[in-house]
Structure 1
Amino acid sequence: MQIYENDYIVLTEDQSIVYIEVKKEGFSLKDFDTILQKYKRIKLASFAVLRTALSLGSDERVEIGSWLPPIEIEISKDCMKATMYINEDPSTIFHDEESMNRQIKEVAENAGIQFGIYSVSFETAMSEKSIIIAAGLPAKKGEDAKITYIKIPEKKPQILEDGRADYLDMNFIYEIEKDAWLGEKIPAQPGIPGKNVLGEEIPAIDGEDIPLNFEVASVYEQEEDGKTVIRAIDSGVIDYSNGTFSIQKHLLVKKDVGLETGNLTFDGSITIKGSILPGYSVVATGDIQIEGQEGVTGPKLIESTSGDVYIRGGIFGNGETVVRACGNIYVKHANDSTLKALKDIFIGSYAMGSDIKAQNIYVNEQQGKIIGGRAEATHSIHSAMSGNRLERKTELIIMIPDRIESAKLIKERREKIIKLEEEIADLDEKVFSLKPLLEHMNEAQRKTYDDIIEKINEKESEFKRLEVEVNEIAYQIKTMGDEIIHITKEAFPGTYIQIGKKSTTLNHTTCGKFKLENGEINV
């Protein structure tokens, strides 16, 4: 088929290949471009071949490109879209909208398109050279699982208008009833399959599942109205540590700990409505809350092995009282006592003659005082005043841990955590297999079951403690270089300040943020 002819060239098409015959020289590439503008169906393979043919002027037939169909369909690599390219004057191939769409559909189906073909308006076809004529339907991802947990009040003192922390009113122990709702999960939803333009199904993508995090020994789950709900097995105190919900046993002591109660050791949390009398001790795995407004005088030991300690009043230690917590310690004031927390210590009023050790020590920055004794932290110490006008020696010390030793400690504890995880998993498996037989167990079998539960509780308590230690050591490493001692109002002479290996004793009254600058304390 002849496409074009003039005095210089002849263009022909044979089996969709375009050939040129040059009758005489003198026809330029620029002149040829006007032909390309008119005949959109010519697709050149190489300008170099065309240039050579025009310059040589040979009357031999030379292949220069291809002859495109009037309508060309291109399918995207992902087979989700088909585009129509019009390589001819639309008015010469389309006469009305109805016949045009039949023609487009026929070409599309010949190209393998079976799904998602659009109807094209006549106006669009007349004005646009490339038109999307089919689109696939993407697979729809199902909704991810949705989890809602009970909201637990944050353990922190209320801040009064004058800036003081109110340690008499804290949301410390959150009690829960048996079978109380703790959380629920709406399961992940299945996705909806899609289809590409070739009619091939695109597999559905299901929503992602999210686990409910709870301790199987104290929390159970069940299906309710299409949801997975977790509830408390027994009444107790709700605990949320390291992203896991559990219910701890709760011991309520309505009066003082003393002659009538003896020393208390309890696997769970303890609330004491009164005080702890001199010489007596209270040790619990969970939180310890002492609500007597006058605080405690001369107890021997108050220790939470995996939780916090809250003493609504103050401590008069008489040089004998030791308070330890795996988490935080909250107290109104501390006199002649020893306080050690793996996390932070919060003191509402003052610390006098006491040995205090924590990651961060916060003594009310508006009116709080550290007078005498030793306050040792790994990150920061905050107070309004330190020492007194009598220049009583008061030690404020930031101990900067050794990175290599800290990394070694983390490694050792993580190895223990992995071993505990394996042991807990084995015990959980035994509990799971024995649960259905509970109602039919004899006394000895029930004791075996209860012993397993007790072992799980012990190991989970140890697991939590180790995780807290790892997190705290990691935090210390991460925050190295940010160590600070902040005295907002008055640091009196006699205040000893140490940060890492650098130290100084103040000989004049000052205040501010003390830290290492260029290797020295910025006093």
Structure 2
Amino acid sequence: MIIEENHELILTDEQGKAFITLKVDGYTLKKLDQVIQEYPRLKVSNFIALKKAIAEKSVEPIEIGFWNESIELTISNDFMQASLTIRETLHHIKKHMIDIQSSIKKLLQEHHIIHGIQPFDLLSLSVGKAFIIAQGLEPQEGEPAQVRYLEPAEKKPVIREDGKADYFDMNFILEIHEGSWLGEKIPSKEGGNGFNILGEIVPGKKGKDLLLKYDPKSAYEVEEDGKIVLRSRLSGVIGEVNGMLSVKKHLIIAGDLGLETGNITFDGSIQIKGTVMAGYSVVATGDISIESLEGVNAAKLIKSTEGDVFIKGGIFGKGETMVEACKNIYIKHVNDCTLEAKGNVIIGFYAISSNISAHEVILDERRGKIIGGKTLAIQSILAAYSGNDLERKTELIVQSVDRLLLIDQMKWNAEKSVKQNLEITKLSAQVDQLEQLKNNMNTHQIAVYQQTKQKLHNMESEAKEINYELQKLKKLIQEAKISFIQITKEANAGTVIQIGSKISTLSKRKNGKFLLENGELNV
């Protein structure tokens, strides 16, 4: 079929293929381009043959490309959108407006497109560019699941208006009974339905699910009033295992730990209503709370391998007492003993002749005193006073952190975390699928479901631990730049100020925040 013929060329359509025949010598690509502009349907794909024909002045028909459809409909794979492309000149569109509109309507009918048809103006369309002719209604995502847990006691002494630390009402341990409420999950909801361009219903998306994170050895799930409720399997104290809520065993000693009890090692938390007698030791995996107002006198060892230590009445160590905590130590006062915490050491009133090691050492900034001994922190030391009028040697040391080494450790943990999260995503999807079918499962299938769920819990526990390490490393990297020693009232002569390798012994009273400025101590 001849599309155009003049004294210079013939342009034809042979079963969708485009051919050109040149009638004259000296024809140019520039002239041909002007012809092509008049036919948006023409797609020139064989430029080599075209150039050869012009160069050799060929009078034989040469295939130069193909003819596109005048109106092309494209439908997305999910049937949520349809686009039209019109390949005609504006002049042609104006001349055949009614026919084109009729063709579009017929094309939509042939493909059963009935929903979300968009209005359009043919005269404002860009020739050869697709435009949306039909748009489905996207399904809505439902409300996500909501999870909340029983909050543990806040382990922080309150500083009253008069400057005194109130350790006496400190809610250090939260006791739990068997069957107690530990948390709950309100399941996610289904979202509103949508429609595709064929008018078919597209089901709404269920909101994002969340898992209750808990230690299955100490807690269990039960459905109550449309919620998934978490309850305790045993009596004890609320705690945490690798970032997951748990209930730990809880031992209460009504009086003193001493001759009647002997030394105690316990897998759980210990609450001692009295004190730890001289020469005796207590070691627990969980928190240790010693509540006697008289404090501790020359006990040998008080150690929590996974939790905190709280001593309401303080310590008179007589050079014998060692207190260790995996997390934090909270204490009223310290005299002649050793404190070591991976977290922080928080002291209400004073520390005398003691060796203290922690991430941060914090005393009351209005009254807290550090006199004698060695206080070592990774990030900071805060107190009101250091040393005394007799210029007693008092060492305050904040360690320097190797940031490059920490960054390398952080990168290694981050790579491991990414791999674990991919596995968790896969397992989580499996648990979600099984969750939908659990009401119709046989005994074997239920066992598989429980095993998969347990595997997910274990992996999430490991991931939580790695994430905890990542956050800890991140914090150390950030704080490596701002390590300081702050004495708000009076740092007496004889106080040794050391940050990293920089050290200075005060020869007169000073106060303020001591830190490195341009690599040197600002003492």
TM-score by length of 2: 0.70
- State how far apart, in whole Å, the 1-side matches of 2:353 and 2:491 are: 16
> Once the 2 structures are TM-superposed, how far is the Cα of residue 353 of structure 1 from its aligned partner?
1.8
> Once the 2 structures are TM-superposed, how far is the Cα of residue 96 of structure 1 from its aligned partner?
7.2
| Aligned-pair identity (%) | 47
- State how far apart, in whole Å, the 2-side matches of 1:185 and 1:491 are: 53
Cα gap change, 1:360/1:49 in structure 2, threshold over 3 Å: closer, same or farther? same
Secondary structure of 1:486's aligned partner: strand
- Equivalent residue for 1:95? 98
Secondary structure of 2:385's aligned partner: strand
- State how far apart, in whole Å, the 2-side matches of 1:52 and 1:372 are: 97
Secondary structure of 1:104's aligned partner: helix
1:119-163, Cα deviation, whole Å (9 max, x unpaired): 454x53454243334567878878765432222343222344577
- State how far apart, in whole Å, the 1-side matches of 2:244 and 2:54 are: 81
Mapped contact 1:116–1:137 kept (Cα < 8 A): no
Mapped contact 1:75–1:81 kept (Cα < 8 A): yes
Instruction: Within 5 Å, give how 1:375-390 maps onto structure 2.
Output: 375-390=375-390
- Equivalent residue for 1:171? 171
Mapped contact 2:118–2:134 kept (Cα < 8 A): no
Mapped contact 1:116–1:136 kept (Cα < 8 A): no
Mapped contact 2:116–2:137 kept (Cα < 8 A): no
Secondary structure of 2:98's aligned partner: coil
Mapped contact 2:116–2:136 kept (Cα < 8 A): no
- State how far apart, in whole Å, the 2-side matches of 1:210 and 1:320 are: 49
Cα gap change, 1:44/1:391 in structure 2, threshold over 3 Å: closer, same or farther? same
> Once the 2 structures are TM-superposed, how far is the Cα of residue 354 of structure 1 from its aligned partner?
1.9
- State how far apart, in whole Å, the 2-side matches of 1:372 and 1:120 are: 82
Amino acid at match of 1:333: H
1:374 partnered with 2:374:
yes
> Once the 2 structures are TM-superposed, how far is the Cα of residue 334 of structure 1 from its aligned partner?
1.3
> Once the 2 structures are TM-superposed, how far is the Cα of residue 360 of structure 1 from its aligned partner?
2.1
- State how far apart, in whole Å, the 1-side matches of 2:195 and 2:287 are: 57
- Equivalent residue for 2:121? 124
Cα gap change, 1:467/1:125 in structure 2, threshold over 3 Å: closer, same or farther? closer
- State how far apart, in whole Å, the 1-side matches of 2:26 and 2:176 are: 98
Mapped contact 1:367–1:385 kept (Cα < 8 A): yes
Secondary structure of 2:184's aligned partner: strand
- Equivalent residue for 2:220? 220
- Equivalent residue for 1:249? 249
Amino acid at match of 1:105: L
- Equivalent residue for 1:302? 302
- State how far apart, in whole Å, the 2-side matches of 1:26 and 1:396 are: 95
Cα gap change, 1:247/1:63 in structure 2, threshold over 3 Å: closer, same or farther? closer
> Once the 2 structures are TM-superposed, how far is the Cα of residue 84 of structure 1 from its aligned partner?
1.9
- Equivalent residue for 1:443? none
Mapped contact 1:117–1:133 kept (Cα < 8 A): no
Amino acid at match of 1:354: S
Instruction: Within 5 Å, give how 1:40-51 maps onto structure 2.
Output: 40-46=40-46
Mapped contact 2:400–2:480 kept (Cα < 8 A): yes
- Equivalent residue for 2:432? none
- Equivalent residue for 1:10? 10
- State how far apart, in whole Å, the 2-side matches of 1:2 and 1:120 are: 36
The aligned length equals: 462
- Equivalent residue for 2:338? 338
- Of the structure 1 ranges 496-505 and 309-318, higher mean CA displacement relative to structure 2 is found in 496-505
> Once the 2 structures are TM-superposed, how far is the Cα of residue 55 of structure 1 from its aligned partner?
6.9
> Once the 2 structures are TM-superposed, how far is the Cα of residue 224 of structure 1 from its aligned partner?
3.1
Mapped contact 1:280–1:300 kept (Cα < 8 A): yes
> Once the 2 structures are TM-superposed, how far is the Cα of residue 53 of structure 1 from its aligned partner?
5.1
Amino acid at match of 2:316: F
1:105 partnered with 2:119:
no
Amino acid at match of 1:124: D
Cα gap change, 1:163/1:86 in structure 2, threshold over 3 Å: closer, same or farther? farther
- State how far apart, in whole Å, the 1-side matches of 2:161 and 2:62 are: 94
> Once the 2 structures are TM-superposed, how far is the Cα of residue 26 of structure 1 from its aligned partner?
6.7
Mapped contact 1:401–1:476 kept (Cα < 8 A): no
1:96-135, Cα deviation, whole Å (9 max, x unpaired): 79844542236x64xxxx66775454x5345424333456
- State how far apart, in whole Å, the 1-side matches of 2:474 and 2:322 are: 26
> Once the 2 structures are TM-superposed, how far is the Cα of residue 61 of structure 1 from its aligned partner?
3.0
Secondary structure of 2:106's aligned partner: helix
Mapped contact 1:491–1:511 kept (Cα < 8 A): yes
Mapped contact 1:115–1:136 kept (Cα < 8 A): no
Secondary structure of 2:357's aligned partner: strand
- Equivalent residue for 1:314? 314
1:295-335, Cα deviation, whole Å (9 max, x unpaired): 34444443333321212333333444433323211112112
Amino acid at match of 1:70: S
Instruction: Within 5 Å, give how 1:8-47 maps onto structure 2.
Output: 8-25=8-25, 32-46=32-46
- Of the structure 1 ranges 200-209 and 169-178, higher mean CA displacement relative to structure 2 is found in 200-209
1:196-246, Cα deviation, whole Å (9 max, x unpaired): 989999999987765433233322223334543221123321112431222
- Equivalent residue for 1:397? 397
> Once the 2 structures are TM-superposed, how far is the Cα of residue 392 of structure 1 from its aligned partner?
0.9
Mapped contact 2:223–2:229 kept (Cα < 8 A): yes
- Equivalent residue for 2:240? 240
Mapped contact 1:176–1:238 kept (Cα < 8 A): yes
- State how far apart, in whole Å, the 2-side matches of 1:397 and 1:280 are: 31
- State how far apart, in whole Å, the 1-side matches of 2:64 and 2:472 are: 74
Instruction: Within 5 Å, give how 1:365-514 maps onto structure 2.
Output: 365-398=365-398, 478=477, 483-500=483-500, 503-514=503-514
Mapped contact 1:116–1:135 kept (Cα < 8 A): no
> Once the 2 structures are TM-superposed, how far is the Cα of residue 176 of structure 1 from its aligned partner?
2.2
- Equivalent residue for 2:231? 231
- State how far apart, in whole Å, the 2-side matches of 1:2 and 1:69 are: 16
1:269 partnered with 2:269:
yes
> Once the 2 structures are TM-superposed, how far is the Cα of residue 179 of structure 1 from its aligned partner?
1.0
Cα gap change, 1:471/1:340 in structure 2, threshold over 3 Å: closer, same or farther? farther
- State how far apart, in whole Å, the 2-side matches of 1:139 and 1:227 are: 25
Mapped contact 1:379–1:476 kept (Cα < 8 A): no
TM-score by length of 1: 0.70
- Of the structure 1 ranges 152-161 and 44-53, higher mean CA displacement relative to structure 2 is found in 44-53
Mapped contact 1:219–1:232 kept (Cα < 8 A): yes
- Equivalent residue for 2:147? 147
- State how far apart, in whole Å, the 2-side matches of 1:467 and 1:297 are: 39
- State how far apart, in whole Å, the 2-side matches of 1:174 and 1:487 are: 35
Secondary structure of 1:340's aligned partner: strand
- State how far apart, in whole Å, the 2-side matches of 1:339 and 1:315 are: 10
Secondary structure of 1:105's aligned partner: helix
**CA-atom RMSD in angstroms:** 4.7
Cα gap change, 1:315/1:21 in structure 2, threshold over 3 Å: closer, same or farther? same
- Of the structure 1 ranges 356-365 and 181-190, higher mean CA displacement relative to structure 2 is found in 181-190
